[in-house]
Structure formats: C-alpha cells, structure tokens
A and B are shown apart, each in its own frame.
Chain A
Amino acid sequence: MGKVGKLVAAALVLVFIASFAAGCSSPKKDPIKIGIVAPLSGGAAMVGDTQVKGVALAIKQINAAGGIHGREVIYIAEDDEQIPAKSVSAVNKLVYNDKVDAVIGTVNSSATLANMEVTRKAGVPQITPISSNPKITKLGNEWIFRLQASDEHQARAIVDYAVNELKIKKPAVIYQSDDYGTGGKDVIVDRLKELNVNPVAVEAFAPDAQDMTGQLLKIKNAGADGLFMWTMYAQAALIARQARQIGLDVQLMGGGGLTNPKLVELAGDAAYGLLNTQTFFPDKEGASPEAAAFIDAYEKEYGMLPDSNAAMSYDSMMILAKAMEAAGPSLDKKKVRDAIAATRDYRGVTGVITIDEYGDANRDILIIRVKVGGGYEVVWPKR
C-alpha cells in the first residue's frame, strides 16, 4: 500500500468516525422529528426527491407559523434505494435510532408493504403519500395511512371517461411491470370488461426500459384507437415520442404518475392532449386557492414546478401536523394516529380529503388534459 493510499484510507476512516459522532450528538432543544423514507438513489430517485421537497416545504411553513405545540419540526430523510430490505433498515433506523414521531413514505408499494411492519410493531404513525397498492391499507394495519387516491379509483375514472365520453372502442394498455403499473393495468382491464369493451392489446415493459417500440408496434397493428398507460412521467414521455415515431396516433391516457411539469419538457408536442387522472391540479390557472398558493411557494422555494407527488407529500405532512396539534402536547402516538384517522373534509392542495375506515384518503378525482403548448385544463368533471 502506497503512502498516499494509507493517508487517504486513514482520512476516510476519520471522516466516517467524525460524521458518525456528529450524527449522534443531540441538539439542545427538543424538536418534533419526522422521518422521511424515500428512494433517493436509483431509478425512482426523481420521485423520492420531490417527496422530500414536498414534506420539507410543509415543515418550513409549519415552523414559520410557530411549529407544533410551540415546538420546532425537523425531518430526517433516509434513502431506501427502492429495495424492500433496505427500506426496512431505513425505517428501523428512523424509528429506533432517531426516535421519530411519525414516518412519511415511501414511494414504491413493495417497499412500503415491507417497512410498514416496522412502524406497526413500534406503534409509530406512518403516511405514505403515493404508494398505490390497494393491499397497503387492507391488511388491518392501523398505523398506516395513504394520501394517494388508490389506483382503483383513478383507473376506473379514466376508463369510464374514455369509454363513455371519448367513445373509445378498441383500447390498448401498456404498463410498466412493477407494482404501480401492474396494479393500474389490472383495474383498467377489469373495468373495461365490466363495460363490455375488450382491450385489443395489453403490453408490459420493464421499469428501466428505454425502447418500447416493440410493444407499441404490436398495439398499432392491433388497430387500437386509444392507449392507457400506467407508468411514471419519464417513461410516458418515451412512449409518447416513440408512438409518434412509429405512426401510432391515438389518444394517450394515464394515471396520477404522469402529472409532472417535466412530461411536456421531455415529450414535447407528443404529450399535447394527453389525459390523466389527478386530485392535484398542477396549473396555477384554474387551481383551487390552496393548490395555487402551494404551487407558488414551491416554485419560489425550489425554482421548479411541483409534481403531484410533491403535493401529496405536502398534504401528508400538513394532515400529520393537524393531527399532532389535535392529539395534544404529549404527542401520544396512538392519539396522533387516531387524529389522522379522524381527518374529515380537510382542504388540502390535492383536494378535499377525508380519511376512510381503511386509512385511505378519499376525494374527487379530476381528469386533466395537457394543453397545446403546455399547461393543464380540467376536462372532468365538466364545469
């Protein structure tokens, strides 16, 4: 080992130790700690990133307004790399090491399904902003809540709109083969069957796929007149562009994962006219006062427009804060949990929210359309 190498190695070891010690030292005052678990690296990092941003913005506003019971709120964000086992590690760390008062996260349903066992055992309230697997709230775990309108509601809404309003007869479905995409696909296919419409093609693609033309050609060949896609915005942008390249010119439709200002930036004019379900209306023009204020504040804070995940995360934190206020200064976790469960008609940025008996947030679903040149408009419910 060279001299330089030894020095570097020694320095690294010192840095490890120093940083660890720094992490352990406790602050003077006793703030309320919110743990965030999210994929901050890997393929879903972009979603994890806005999740943290949304919560952080809410916390900033809460602190500016005097905190909760006069106490400051801080957050600790941990990366789970979207791997269930690592998610469990991260939540364990938040719950037992950092002793957080509540957990917000994570993105991927499979990771949430794994890590919610930890908060259940420890008795710590947890809100997942966007994990969409219906099972999460159906396993009898009283400590987990979800803000995202479930896939069931979203997918049904878009299918009904497509069949009833757009008169689509030969729809096709393309979905990413993970829990989010598969979950949405299942509901779409079932709902289409209920409406006596047969999908002409149902195609999957891997979450890291970049070329979907094989699937799209098959869809084109099947004579589809509408395409449901259940995926995130980056892949949706690829699909929109590749569909155009192979001459597949049909109505594109999807779920909440598509709502992101980046979509139009990436897909360009291929994204114009795209329809998707949402509870958060991302365009200041025509948004509710709450949403408009949020979009403003978010843009000011981060220099970018929020996506729906940021909005869900923001609302998650706000509902959590309300519940903590209601639960009294002791912040008894059970009381906080019950207070979250008792949320009724909360006017959040993602709509008017009521938590149902399972812990799901119920509210009206909008169908929004990307306008030519960018921006959104609501097409359903009709105004």
Chain B
Amino acid sequence: MKNLYRKYRTVALLLLAYAVPVLTRDPYVLHLANMACIFAILTLSLNILTGFTGQFSVGHAAFYGIGAYTSSLLAVKAGAPVWLGFLAAPVVAAVFGILLGLPTLRLRGFYLGVVTLGFGEIMYQVFVNWISLTNGPKGLTGVPAPRIGSIVLDTYGSYYFLSITLLVLTIVVAYRLLYSRVGRALLAIRENETAAEAMGINSTYYKVMAFCVSAALAGMAGALYAHEIMFVSPESFVNAESVSILSMMVVGGIGSIPGSVVGAITLTLVPEYLRSFGDLRLVVYGLAIVLMVIYSPQGIGGWITRVDQYLSGTAIRKPVRGGVERGAA
C-alpha cells in the first residue's frame, strides 16, 4: 500500500490536475482553476526568493505586471505571435528582477522589503502613466488567445491545459532548483550569509539570480494572466496583489513547494467560497488568515508533509523550511 502510494502519488496528482476540465464543465469553476494556477506560479516564484533565499519582497505584482504587459503589447501592438509573448514575458521580467536584485547588495530584511514595495509602486505608476505604450488606466483590449495549430485556446477549459502545464513546469523548476548546487547555495544564504560566503558562495551573485528566476516565473504568470482575461490594465498589479501573493505563500508554508500550490489554491477559492457571506465576506477572509497563521504556523505545507510522510511511511528528508523565520523578519 505504502509502496503503491509512493510510486503513484505524483502520477495520480498529475492525472487529477489534468482531469479538471473533464470533471467539470462549469466555466466559473474553470476560470477559477486558471486563476489558481496563475497564483500558484506567482506564489512559487515568490517562495524561491523569500522561502528559499530569505529575501523579503512586497513588490512581486510588479513582475507579474511586467510579464502581462510585455506579452500583451507584443501581441496587440506588434502583432507578434502569442507564443513569442510567452517567451518574452519571463525574459523582460527577469531583466527587471536583476535590476531590483542589485540593491540587495546592501539591504536586508524589511529595508529590502520597502525597496521592493517602492518598486511595486513605481511600476504601477509606469503602467498608469506611460500611456503611449500601455494605454494607461484604460487598459489594453484585444489581447488574443493563444492557439495550437488550428485549436484556439479561447475557452477556460482549453486554456486550463496551458495553465496547468506551465504550473507543472514551474513546480519542476522549483524542485530541480531546490535540490541542486544552486538551490543549496540559496538555502545557505537564507540560513547564514556569513557562513555561506565562507563556503565559497558568492552571495551577491546568487541573490541576484534568485531575483532573476523569481521574476521570470512571475513574468510568465503575467503572460498567462493576460491571455486568459484578454485584457490588461494597471489595477491588476497594485501592491495589494503583492500582498495577496505574500499571504498565499505564508498560508501555504514558507519554503514549501506543495504548500505554495495549495496556499494559492486556497486563497483563490476561499474568497469565492465566502461569497455567500455577502457583506461580511472579506471580514471572514481576514479572520481566516489570522486563524491560519495562529493555529497552523507552518502553513498548509506542514500538514501536507505530515500526511505525505504518514501515507508513504517515511520520515523523508525534506524539511526545507525557515525562510525569513529569523533575521529578515
């Protein structure tokens, strides 16, 4: 039984994830499934920066926005194929990630946090004010749906296959990164930067790399978002969205990959679920977040690890936890 679980858990999860459009045809649910994938990618990307590397960021929505605008502008203004946008979005976002990563040479913890927050504000104002490029607050309409051969991914269901594939790709990236020489260097910087340097790790280089990878993934999520909603405007990339991503990461569990995914799904669905509360919806949402961090400080990721260990009968080594537990916060 336990062997069976260990052998097939990944495959089963994958099958289940890909079967969502088969299990339901409700566009409302499928749209939410798309949004959950987008936010899961965003949360994972933030986790690479904050959970793995210990660099605090409150401006992640900026990279998300950069990706969304890059991809939509290429399609709308330059008439480029959609897939080119999907490639360009992470690249452009990564360039900004490197730019933002450079101040990390000198800044730590919340002081870095405020710089990322400022970056978020600045990018938002650029989206709003650079009207000749972004069309400003009126937004960009007519963002096309991607197509594969003759199939146009213009329904939530068909688009979902793209979303889930990119999410799976992100998860693979996160895992491979984590269990590699690079990932160990990131964790070491998070744990103790002085000691990391003594191990021959160029902490500047790796911190900037973390910013770069994180921004690239967030940028990809931006492209995914733009072509799902088919409309881009600055409101989607305000600091409040950065804060949502941060909450998803913490509720999911800092440093936990499955936690990030589940955290994003949870906080995407909970506000929808709470619609029946009417006026009190966001009050309950706020309360739920408070209760989550009080009663489950390790996040949902902690539960997942425990359940997984129980089912597979192992005390597997996988406690990548900590993040900004010390120092940074």
Contact = CB atoms under 8 A, between A and B. Distances in A.
Interface of A: 1-2, 5-6, 8-9, 12, 16, 19-20, 22-23, 40-41, 77-79, 82-86, 88-90, 92-93, 95-97, 108-111, 113-114, 117-118, 121-122, 133, 135, 139, 177-179, 181-183, 204
Contacts of B273: 16, 20
B282 A109 contact: no
Contacts of B296: 1
Contacts of A135: 138, 141
B72 interface: no
B129 A204 contact: yes
B168 to A, nearest CB: 22
Interface of B: 26-29, 31-32, 35, 128-129, 131, 136-139, 141-142, 155, 225, 229-231, 233-236, 241, 271-279, 281-282, 287-288, 291, 294-296
B295 A85 contact: no
Nearest to A97: B28
A108 B138 contact: no
List the 10 closest pairs (A to B, CB-CB), nearest first. Answer: A110-B233, A92-B28, A23-B276, A96-B28, A179-B137, A19-B276, A114-B231, A178-B137, A110-B139, A5-B295
A111 to B, nearest CB: 8
B137 A182 contact: yes
Q: Is the interface of B mostly helix, strand, loop or mixed?
A: helix
Contacts of A178: 128, 137, 235
Q: Is the interface of A mostly helix, strand, loop or mixed?
A: helix
Given A96-B26, A177-B137, A110 B276 contact: no
Given A20-B276, A95-B28, A182-B137, A9 B35 contact: no
Nearest to B38: A85
Nearest to A18: B276
A151 to B, nearest CB: 11
A88 B232 CA distance: 12
Given A16-B273, A114-B229, A92 B295 contact: no
A52 B32 CA distance: 25
A74 B131 CA distance: 41
Nearest to B232: A84
A77 to B, nearest CB: 8
A283 B86 CA distance: 54
B275 A110 contact: no
Contacts of A133: 138
A135 B233 CA distance: 13
A12 B137 contact: no
Contacts of B235: 82-84, 108, 110-111, 178
A42 to B, nearest CB: 8
B233 A12 contact: no
B295 A117 contact: no
